């Protein structure tokens, strides 16, 4: 894709350009402008105009247009999946899964926005009994979205779909590693929603373009990426008191309890750890298996992992690392795990961008492979006394994005899931919460704050608006200098009758 072909309406005057390349071959996927602060501000200005038109459409008008957009994605799924495959490196089939999930979220957000955000009457309470009270959630105007490269469709659309459904326009800055996917998403919007084309725009560039978006006067900045960059984004947004949503990294754990279905747990752990080359924020990176099941679990996992083959063909289990630098992080974690006494049960090699599926055993909790986000196709498995020790170790990590529990006891599994320090937990599966549009998505601690998806995800991109309307006037108005002197005593007596009996 060339500069001229982009057609994102940005009208860029940018002097510089950058290339995105295919991780598999190094071939150039596209050339894009490095848009500067002025370009970004111009996009936000256009978005502000579009936001007014988009908000005026109301819930029904937006719902039909969001449906047209998802229809477009659904019809062109193979075209988009091919682009994701080329630019990100993941298998075509995984790209289709990612797009399917996105379409489902778009449908849910469009269908539920009115019910969740629309005006509703609330009880006025005793002191305002003569008033009607209304609550509604109004759009913020323009939402800035900064996204990563690992799920270049699903992850940013988790913010974009819900922000649009809530009545905002969006300016999206995709990762410099997946700009072509971002531009494709904006072009598809313009084609599907020609009457409000600027409600979704893309600005391309490097970190500075993202920083400019933070300072461009958006109503909220939704950031998905690493914690170090998240801190920089927060600092930039603090200059203008721009509120932020932080979807950051994870170090998700799976707990395998005494009574777990070990084969099912192993299968899920291998998918959770290795799919997408492990470049999944909610991927499983650590397993804590109880003494009773540890040996059987390790045997099941290693057998499955031996059957996996990374590569660039259609039959490969996963592709090369999208970013060359990420392969270096994985290598450092493997070296540290081994140097600190861990053992490689399978894999352990990093050749260029291709990391072999790797299982590490007996790695100390202090090692980077257990403490820090690896973001590669690796898994540590640690033997623990029981599920309580597993939970203790799970919760000792600074991250708290998601996790999984495997147990045949429903009550026990639910109890462990509730006490896991994370925003999301799957019982007897991995990652499932992300595919349930009604469930909120987000983390705690180093994994960030705020929520996308579900009702909370819609409200995240709004401000609550409270309105009261006086229905009848009362003979005595307590909030008036005309009130009689005895009014306060009468009020105190009523309060005593209503609340005073509670001890």
- DSSP state letters, 150-191: SSTTHHHHHHHHHHHHTT-EEEEE--TTSHHHHHHHHHHHHH
* Catalytic residue from among 281, 285, 300, 372: 281
Q: Catalytic residue at 98?
A: no
Q: What are the backbone dihedrals phi and psi of residue 479, each rounded to the nearest 5 degrees, phi first?
A: -105, 55
Encode burial over 451-477: b for 16+ CB neighbours within 10 A, e otherwise. Answer: bbbbbbbbbbbbeeeeeeeeeeeeeee
- Nearest distance from residue 211's CB to ligand NDP, in Å? 4
Shorter beta-carbon distance to ligand NDP: residue 51 or 203: 203
Closer by beta carbon to ligand NDP, 54 or else 149: 149
Site residues for ligand NDP, 153-192, by CB under 6 A, read 155, 173, 175-177
Query: Which of 234, 377, 394, 266 has its CA nearest to residue 316?
Result: 377
Q: Using the rule CB under 6 A, is 225 a contact of ligand NDP?
A: yes
The reply to whether 149 sits near ligand NDP by the rule CB under 6 A is yes
Of 275 and 407, CB closest to ligand NDP: 275
Smallest distance, Å, CB 134 to ligand NDP?
Answer: 33
Rounded Cα distance, 41 and 19, in Å: 23
Q: Which of 87, 98, 176, 247 is catalytic?
A: 247
Which of 248, 256, 346, 370 lies at the binding interface for ligand NDP (CB under 6 A)?
248
Q: How far apart are CB 298 and ligand NDP at their closest, in Å?
A: 26
CB 430 to ligand NDP: min, Å: 15
By beta-carbon proximity to ligand NDP, the closer residue of 73 and 145 is 145
Near ligand NDP by CB under 6 A, which window of 30-38, 40-48, 208-216, 359-367?
208-216
Q: Is 431 in the site for ligand NDP (CB under 6 A)?
A: no
328 CB contacts (<8 Å, ≥6 apart)?
A: none
Cβ distance to ligand NDP smaller for residue 145 or 298: 145
Within 55-114, the residues that bind ligand NDP by CB under 6 A are none
Query: For residue 151, which of 207, 95, 222 has the smallest C-alpha distance?
Result: 95
- The contact pattern for ligand NDP, residues 249-288, with x = CB under 6 A and - = no contact, is xx------------------------------x-------
Pick between residue 65 and residue 251 the one whose CB is nearest to ligand NDP.
251
State which residue, 210 or 440, has the beta carbon closest to ligand NDP: 210
CB of 348 to ligand NDP, least distance (A): 23
Rounded least distance, CB 240 to ligand NDP, Å? 14
**47: exposed, middle or buried (Cβ count in 10 Å: 0-12, 13-18, 19+):** buried
Cα 340–Cα 279–Cα 213 angle in degrees, nearest 5: 115
The neighbouring-strand residues paired with 355 are 350
C-beta of 206 vs 444, nearer to ligand NDP: 206
DSSP state of 61: H
DSSP helix/strand/coil, 133? strand
Determine the Cα–Cα distance for residues 446 and 401; give it in Å rounded to an integer.
8
Nearer to ligand NDP, 65 or 451 (CB): 451
DSSP for 221-252 reads: EEEES-HHHHHHHHHHHHTTT--EEEE----E
Tokens standing for residue 138 = 């109004």
372 binds ligand NDP (CB under 6 A): no
Choose one: 93-101, 220-228, 300-308, 463-471; the region binding ligand NDP (CB under 6 A). 220-228
Euclidean distance between the first and final Cα of the chain, in Å? 71
Binder to ligand NDP among 232, 332, 393, 459 (CB under 6 A)?
232
Q: How far is CA 19 from CA 28, 152, 180, in A?
A: 7, 16, 10
Contact flag: residue 210 with ligand NDP (CB under 6 A): yes
- List Cα–Cα distances, 270 to 65, 254, 281, 342, 422, in angstroms: 39, 11, 15, 19, 21
Contact call for residue 150 and ligand NDP (CB under 6 A): yes
Segment interacting with ligand NDP (CB under 6 A) among 69-77, 140-148, 301-309, 363-371: 140-148
Return the sign of the alpha-carbon dihedral for residues 447, 451, 453, 454.
positive
Helical packing angle, 92-117 and 154-165, nearest 10°: 20
Whether 72 sits among the annotated catalytic residues: the reply is: no
Tell me the per-residue interface mask from 393 to 422 with ligand NDP, x by CB under 6 A, - otherwise.
Answer: --------x---------------------
Q: Which of 198, 285, 336, 373 binds ligand NDP (CB under 6 A)?
A: 373
Backbone angles phi, psi at 107, to 5 degrees: -65, -45
What the block records as the tokens of 256 is: 């395998």
Q: Which of residues 330-359 bind ligand NDP (CB under 6 A)?
A: none
List residues with catalytic annotation.
247, 281
Q: What does the binding site for ligand NDP look like in residue numbers (CB under 6 A)? A: 146-151, 155, 173, 175-177, 206-207, 210-211, 214, 224-226, 229, 232-233, 247-250, 281, 373, 375, 401, 443
């Amino acid at each position: 894709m060339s500069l001229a072909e982009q057609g994102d309406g940005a009208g860029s005057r940018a002097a510089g350009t950058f290339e995105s390349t295919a991780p598999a071959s190094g071939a150039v996927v596209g050339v894009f402008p490095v848009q500067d602060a002025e370009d970004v501000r111009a996009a936000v200005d256009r978005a502000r105009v579009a936001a007014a038109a988009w908000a005026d459409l109301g819930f029904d008008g937006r719902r039909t247009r969001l449906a047209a957009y998802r229809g477009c994605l659904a019809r062109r799924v193979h075209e988009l999946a091919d682009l994701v495959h080329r630019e990100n490196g993941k298998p075509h089939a995984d790209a289709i899964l990612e797009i399917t999930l996105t379409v489902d979220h778009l449908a849910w957000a469009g269908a539920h926005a009115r019910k969740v955000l629309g005006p509703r009457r609330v009880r006025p309470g005793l002191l305002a009994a003569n008033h009607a009270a209304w609550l509604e959630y109004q759009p913020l105007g323009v939402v800035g979205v900064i996204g990563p490269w690992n799920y270049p469709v699903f992850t940013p659309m988790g913010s974009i779909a819900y922000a649009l459904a809530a009545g905002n326009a969006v300016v999206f800055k995709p990762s410099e590693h997946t700009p072509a996917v971002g531009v494709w998403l904006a072009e598809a919007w313009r084609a599907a929603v020609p009457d409000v084309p600027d409600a979704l725009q893309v600005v391309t560039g490097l970190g500075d373009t993202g920083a400019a978006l933070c300072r461009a006067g958006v109503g909220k900045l939704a950031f998905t990426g690493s914690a170090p960059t998240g801190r920089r984004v927060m600092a930039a947004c603090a200059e203008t008191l721009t509120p932020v949503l932080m979807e950051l990294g994870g170090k998700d754990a799976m707990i395998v309890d005494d009574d777990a279905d070990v084969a099912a747990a192993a299968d899920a752990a291998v998918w959770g750890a290795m799919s997408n080359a492990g470049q999944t924020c909610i991927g499983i990176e650590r397993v804590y298996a109880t003494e009773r099941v540890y040996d059987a679990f390790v045997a099941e996992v290693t057998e499955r992992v031996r059957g996996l083959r990374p590569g660039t063909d259609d039959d490969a289990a996963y592709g090369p690392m999208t970013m060359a630098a990420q392969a270096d992080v994985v290598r450092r974690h493997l070296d540290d795990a081994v140097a600190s006494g861990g053992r490689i049960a399978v894999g352990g090699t990093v050749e260029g961008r291709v990391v072999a599926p790797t299982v590490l055993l007996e790695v100390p909790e202090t090692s980077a492979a257990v403490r820090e986000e690896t973001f590669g196709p690796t898994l540590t498995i640690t033997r623990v006394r029981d599920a309580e020790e597993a939970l203790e170790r799970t919760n000792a990590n600074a991250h708290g994005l998601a996790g999984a529990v495997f147990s045949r006891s429903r009550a026990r599994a639910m109890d462990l899931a509730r006490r896991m320090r994370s925003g999301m937990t799957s019982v007897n599966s991995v990652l499932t919460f992300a595919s349930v549009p009604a469930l909120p998505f987000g983390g705690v601690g180093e994994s960030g704050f705020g929520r996308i998806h579900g009702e909370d995800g819609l409200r995240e991109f709004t401000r609550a608006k409270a309105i009261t309307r006086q229905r009848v006037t009362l003979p005595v108005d307590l909030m008036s200098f005309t009130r009689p002197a005895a009014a306060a005593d009468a009020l105190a007596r009523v309060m005593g009758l209503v609340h005073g009996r509670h001890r």
